[in-house]
Amino acid sequence: MDALTGSPLGWLCMGVTALFGATVLRTAKRSPAEQASVLVWRLLPALLGLLCGATLGPGGGLVVFCAACVVSSVYLGGRALLPVGDKAVLITGSDTGIGHALAKYLDNLGFVVFAGVLNKDGPGAEELRQTCSPRLSVLQLDITNATQVKEAYLKVSEKMQNTGLWGLVNNAGILGFPADGELLPMSMYRQCMEVNFFGAVEVSKTFLPLLRKSQGRLVNMSSMAGGIPLPRYAAYGASKAALTMFSGVMRQELSKWGIKVAAIHPSGFQTGIQGTSDLWDKQEKDLMENLPADTRQDYGEDYLLGLKSYLVHIPAYCAADLSPVLSAVLHALLAKRPQGLYTPGKGAYLLLCIFCHFPLWFYDFFISKMLSTESVPRALRTSEAESKNL
């Protein structure tokens, strides 16, 4: 320690350390948990610098200290949130699920919320009116209806003409009927693209002038299925993959306007997106009526009718707690340096890593084991039985 304090470089190291440490209390202004995190990440470089100064000498200690400060600043910069203030956010698909929960969550935090709903007289819209503050406005907004999108824009711009719109969360989406891609009718592909992709693009293009005015945030609710291939999600996954790519391009193009763009890839959460039994019956009927005779023969009636049971069991594999998704959206809206991609939920980031960094055969094998089912098309069962007899 004498070597550390006995030279000008040593005194400089200690002085910078003290100055850096003096900023600790000024940065910890939020919750006790956040204060503890900030204290750790602010004090760690100082302690590390002093320790290395005592063992490596003043020069080595100063180098280590500066490097640790850079790492600490980058980490804290990613965690630092802007104040809510009078920021306004538009959320599409607020009738149910993530959009509904997000509208309540942001309203509770003090945001001015515009909750776009498919049915302004439905139970979801009415619950928002009853439970949220007067800051929240419910807007009739079918994102596939250009007239309703334009009307929503006029209402929002009239109310926020001075400050602009801080955030747009493209959350509205449909799942469709999970089935083998060969079985899905073209109407299902078109519907998923119309809602999950074209609708989000239409809303984004319409509201971007208000986002430019505030230099705000565009947040697109994609899906884990939009980043990795998953069986039975050809239509849904393709539409979400298009939305993810759109988000990436817009992130690059809108940065010159000061607008930050993020895509959210949640894993399985209980949102009700799979629909109701009446909807399943309608979709199943549409699927069955559009199948060619030879395809129906190869797959077999039992396999086709068993597809609906997959929908019934989806909630059992999904998390009921939506807080990871809500926290990710909040960070995307308020972080000084938001991430371009968020993967809330168990398994979302792991599967993305396996898909990106492992051979495709390994990923396909992993997914086949993870999503294995007892249901097999009739033609494959017959072929297997004949092979065993031989």
With beta carbons less than 8 A apart as the criterion, state whether 265 and 313 touch.
no
Sign of CA dihedral 356, 358, 363, 369: negative
Separation between Cα atoms, residue 194 and residue 149, nearest integer Å: 14
SS3 79: helix
Residue in the structure block whose two tokens are 């994102």: 143
Can you read off the two tokens belonging to residue 309?
């049971």
Neighbours of 46 (CB within 10 A): 21
Can you read off the two tokens belonging to residue 75?
């980490």
Residue in the structure block whose two tokens are 């909807």: 279
From the candidates 236, 299, 303, 342, give the one annotated as an active-site residue. 236
The burial of 200, by beta-carbon neighbours within 10 Å (0-12 exposed, 13-18 middle, 19 or more buried), is given as buried
| Distance from chain centroid for Cα 86 | 24
Q: Catalytic site residue 236?
A: yes
Separation between Cα atoms, residue 51 and residue 69, nearest integer Å: 14
Can you read off the two tokens belonging to residue 145?
């209806």
Catalytic positions are 236
